[in-house]
Amino acid sequence: MSTLLGMKRTDEKRMNFELKGRPLSFGVTQGTALVSKKPLSFLGGVNPETGVVIEKDHDLNGKSIKGMILCFPHGHGSTVGSYVLYSLAKKTGPRAIVNETADPVVVVGAVIAEVPMVDGINIAQIETGDTLEVDGGKGTVKILKREKRCT
Q: Catalytic amino acids?
A: 78
Which positions ≥6 away from 67 have C-beta within 8 Å?
31, 32, 94, 95
Q: Which of 124, 125, 117 is nearest to 3 (CA)?
A: 125
Q: Does residue 134 contact residue 20 with C-beta atoms inside 8 Å?
A: no
3-state secondary structure of 81: helix
What does the alpha-carbon distance between residue 72 and residue 37 come to, in Å, rounded to a whole number?
A: 6
Nearest-5° angle of CA 45, CA 114, CA 125? 65
What does the alpha-carbon distance between residue 58 and residue 70 come to, in Å, rounded to a whole number?
A: 14
